[in-house]
Amino acid sequence: MLVQAYNLMAHAFLLFLLFPYIISTNIHACKQNERSSLLSFASTLSPLNWTSIDYDCCRWNGITCDQDGWVTHLLLPSKGLKGGISPSSLANLTRLIHLNLSHNSLYGSLETQFFLSLNRLDILDLSYNCLSGELPISPLSSNIRSIDLSSNHFFGAIPSSFFQQASNLTSFNVSNNSFTGYVPSSICLQHSSPFLRLLDFSSNLFNGDLAPGLGKCSELQVFRANHNNLSGLLPEDIYNATKLEEIALPLNSLHGAISGKIVNLTNLAILDLSSNHFGGELPLNLGKLSKLKFVTLDFNNLEGVLPSSLMNCTNLVELRLGNNHLEGDISVLDFSRLSQLTKLDLRINNFTGTVPVSLYSCRFLKAIRLTGNNLEGQIQDEILSLKSLSFLSLGYNRFTNLTGAMKILMSCKSLHALLLSGSFVGEGMPSDDDMVDYVGFQNLRLLGLVRSNLTGQIPFWLSKLKNLEILALGFNQITGPIPSWLGTLPRLFYISLSHNQISGKFPQQLCRLPRLLHEPIASQGDNYEFEFPVYSSSISITANQTFLSQKLCFFPATIDLSTNNIVGDIPTEISQLHLLYTLSLDSNNFSGVIPDQISNLKNLEVLNLSMNHLSGIIPASLASLNFLKEFNVSYNNLEGSIPIGTQLQSFEVSAFEGNPKLCGAPLPKCSPNKGIDADNKNNKDVYKWLHQLPWFYIFAALGFIVGFWGVCGCLIIHKTWRYAYFRFINKVQDRLLYVMITVPLNKMDRRLRG
């Protein structure tokens, strides 16, 4: 009895402990109609499967319910879902306030019923899917606060009625779609969206002017409409949105001057108007925007001097003003106050003077690009104070003393990219004697010394750059052979030595470049990014190509030796460079045949062998190079028929011209009497005859010797035979004289007498 009482008390105590859980479970159990709706929703999507789990849908993955069992959150981002969204399946989720189906593969359109049924929705995130169609004209719910439809395939105009009731909207993002028409500035009209903080219309097809209205968004902090087709002037009322922290409108066709009213935007931290047609001078009082961190105004038509007040923007992190018409002596500017500056880009302007010494006070500088100005002077030792400097581009200026510059810069331990192309014109390559104490450049990945008319040879000290990946020395006056040690640099994959006076042969060691032999191990993949994009003019890919890249892995594996004096055969070992993309050997003195082994270079996209002395046929195996974008074998001594293949026949006639004995599409057809088979047969017969020719002469000579001495020997040995032979010869001679002379004379005499 005591035991039973004890058990009863234990069960009662356990029930007491579990009672809150039981009550809570009953409270949170989802509604039957909502469970059915969720199952209907899941039936159209894979691999979503809720049927085999708990009956209570509030326990399902991605589902959250309130205390009454109503579904309030449906959050399934990045679940690999595929299928269409059925509005009817979500219609019963009348208490849903947060729907996130982003980063999946959903498709279909958003019907009017979708927004009407979810009238309590607070946050909608359908970004990064494959949804398409036009937005419905029915207005959004007044409860909606955030909408993200970015990175889909929506198109058409955004109806102005869409925002009529969206009085609580704070964020609207439709970037990376195909929307057209005008940017809907009506979203900012009074009493519409007074709480709006973010508008992102970037990467669409919006066109026309930016209509006034943005200034009505008194709380607006971020406005982006980059990469569209916008034109016209920047609306003046945008300067009334005084809480703006970011304006990003690059890659459009906006024009006009930047108004001095921009100083009203005292909270502005990011100003990006690059790649437009803005002109005029920069506002002199621009320095009043003390919170500016990122200023990107490159690729415009700005002119005049750089306002000295800009040096008051002490929070500046990046300043990009390249590709404009700015001018003035930058050496008088005091950069020392810009203590946070990490990147400075003033390329392709009309600045004069020297590199400002004050710039070396910006201790956090990682990248400096002053390319394409009228700067002069020499590199100073003070640059060594920039311990984080990894990108330095000073090309196409009038700097002097290259050797001195290299001696200084080699001590910049963080330097990864050094671009000096077009400067130090006419000087000599720093020789091994000049760099006798060389110990630097241990982290250098890119060296560009193009178009400077540098003289001398390729120095041996470059062989110590074990991290060098891109070497560009094209368009100079470099002489001597290609050093064999180039093939030993472990990371080198891009070599441009074009347009020089290099002689000698193609070194076989170059056919063993480690980075071009085998794919690197995935864990060792190089995803390094330069601080600024590198342009083709700095490294000279090929004369008819332009290139721009910031990631090192996007540079094509290249060997460009064009326009030199290189002689000899193209080595067959070049077939080992399986990762090679570009091979340019044109305008040299190569001879011999085109190696059949080139067809092993399956990644090859550019092959230029023109203007050499190559002979023989085009190997039929080259037709298997299916990824060729450029191919040129013009002006050689090639012959025979162009191999039939969809790839080679797709190139222009100019790729084959200058080879008189070459025929076949796209050149005129080969003669039907001298097809390639007949040519090959004739070549084989001649080849066979040439091999049999010595035996013919041997047997002919033996026959002559035997016949001659067989007759003459007998006449010499036997006297009676010799007398008989000569009597016979005399009789034959007399007979011939009588027949050929006496008889014709007698006939002529009788005719004369008659």
List pLDDT tens digits, range 425-469.
999 999 988 887 777 899 999 999 999 999 999 999 999 999 999
Distance CA 159, CA 161 (A): 5
Query: For the segment 382-392, what is each residue's pLDDT rounded down to a tens digit?
Result: 999 999 999 99
Give the pLDDT mean for 319-328: 97
Length of the chain: 754
- pLDDT beyond 90 at 48: no
Distance CA 559, CA 496 (A): 6
Distance CA 285, CA 309 (A): 6
Give the pLDDT mean for 702-720: 56
- pLDDT beyond 50 at 681: no
| CA distances, 553 to each of 418, 544, 745 (Å) | 18, 22, 102
Query: For the segment 325-383, what is each residue's pLDDT rounded down to a tens digit?
Result: 999 999 999 999 999 999 999 999 999 999 999 999 999 999 999 999 999 999 999 99
User: What's the DSSP call for residue 47?
Assistant: S
| Residue 470: predicted pLDDT | 95
Report the 10 Å Cβ neighbour count for 328. Answer: 16
User: Order of strands, edge to edge, in the sheet holding 130-133?
Assistant: 45-46, 82-84, 105-108, 130-133, 153-156, 178-179
Helix (H, G, I), strand (E, B) or coil at 572: helix
Of 152, 167, 118, 160, the closest CA to residue 136 belongs to 160
- Could you tell me if residue 672 is inside a domain? no
The CATH number linked to 626 is: 3.80.10.10
Q: How far is CA 742 from the centre of its chain?
A: 99
Query: For the segment 206-265, what is each residue's pLDDT rounded down to a tens digit?
Result: 999 998 888 888 899 999 999 999 999 999 999 999 999 999 999 999 999 999 999 999
Contact 298, 326 (CB under 8 A): no
User: Which tokens go with 644?
Assistant: 């039939």
| Residue 26: predicted pLDDT | 43
Peptide bond before 194: cis, by omega within 30 degrees of 0? Answer: no
Rounded mean pLDDT of the chain?
85
User: Which tokens go with 469?
Assistant: 């990946």
- Could you tell me if residue 503 is inside a domain? yes
Q: Which residues contact 471 (CB under 8 A, 6 or more apart)?
A: 447, 462, 486, 492, 494, 495, 496
Contact 85, 106 (CB under 8 A): yes
Comparing 445 with 88, the larger pLDDT belongs to: 445
β-pairing verdict for 343-345 and 318-320: parallel
Domain count along the chain: 1
User: Which tokens go with 221?
Assistant: 């902090």
Of 427, 421, 412, the closest CA to residue 382 belongs to 412
Give the pLDDT mean for 712-727: 55
- Could you tell me if residue 243 is inside a domain? no
Contact 331, 354 (CB under 8 A): yes
Comparing 54 with 564, the larger pLDDT belongs to: 564
In the structure, what pLDDT confidence band is assigned to residue 719 with cuts at 50, 70 and 90? low
Place of tokens 């064999």: 484
H or E segment at 233? strand 229-233
- pLDDT beyond 70 at 15: no
Distance CA 653, CA 633 (A): 11
Per-residue buried b or exposed e for 527-540, using 16+ beta carbons within 10 Å of the residue's own CB: eeebbbebbbbbbb
Long-range contacts of 522-526 (CB under 8 A, 24+ apart): 525/553, 526/469, 526/552, 526/553
- Could you tell me if residue 632 is inside a domain? yes
Q: 572 is in which domain, residue-wise?
A: 479-518+554-663
Distance CA 297, CA 299 (A): 7
User: What's the DSSP call for residue 739?
Assistant: I
- pLDDT beyond 70 at 19: no
Contact 247, 223 (CB under 8 A): yes
Q: Is 472 exposed, middle or buried (0-12, 13-18, 19+ CB in 10 A)?
A: buried
- Could you tell me if residue 325 is inside a domain? no
- Could you tell me if residue 195 is inside a domain? no
- pLDDT beyond 50 at 682: no
Distance CA 138, CA 143 (A): 15
Place of tokens 């709480």: 195
In the structure, what pLDDT confidence band is assigned to residue 554 with cuts at 50, 70 and 90? confident
| CA distances, 512 to each of 370, 484, 493, 700, 712 (Å) | 37, 10, 11, 53, 69
Bridge partners (DSSP) listed for residue 448: 419, 472
Comparing 677 with 183, the larger pLDDT belongs to: 183
Query: For the segment 103-151, what is each residue's pLDDT rounded down to a tens digit?
Result: 999 999 988 878 888 888 999 999 999 999 999 887 888 889 999 999 9
- Could you tell me if residue 282 is inside a domain? no
Peptide bond before 47: cis, by omega within 30 degrees of 0? Answer: yes
Distance CA 481, CA 568 (A): 13
| Residue 228: predicted pLDDT | 97
Q: Is 516 exposed, middle or buried (0-12, 13-18, 19+ CB in 10 A)?
A: buried
In the structure, what pLDDT confidence band is assigned to residue 689 with cuts at 50, 70 and 90? very low
- pLDDT beyond 50 at 503: yes
Query: For the segment 389-411, what is each residue's pLDDT rounded down to a tens digit?
Result: 999 999 999 999 999 999 999 99
Comparing 25 with 347, the larger pLDDT belongs to: 347
77-91, 278-292, 473-487: least confidently modelled range: 77-91
Contact 606, 584 (CB under 8 A): yes
Query: Please, what is the angle between helix 719-737 and helix 676-717, to 10°?
Result: 120
| Residue 437: predicted pLDDT | 73
| Residue 159: predicted pLDDT | 87
185-194, 241-250, 735-744: least confidently modelled range: 735-744
Per-residue buried b or exposed e for 361-389, using 16+ beta carbons within 10 Å of the residue's own CB: bbeebbbbbbbbbebeeebeeebeebeeb
Distance CA 227, CA 248 (A): 10
Give the pLDDT mean for 631-653: 91
- pLDDT beyond 60 at 696: no
Contact 398, 373 (CB under 8 A): no
H or E segment at 446? strand 446-448
- Could you tell me if residue 589 is inside a domain? yes
In the structure, what pLDDT confidence band is assigned to residue 736 with cuts at 50, 70 and 90? low
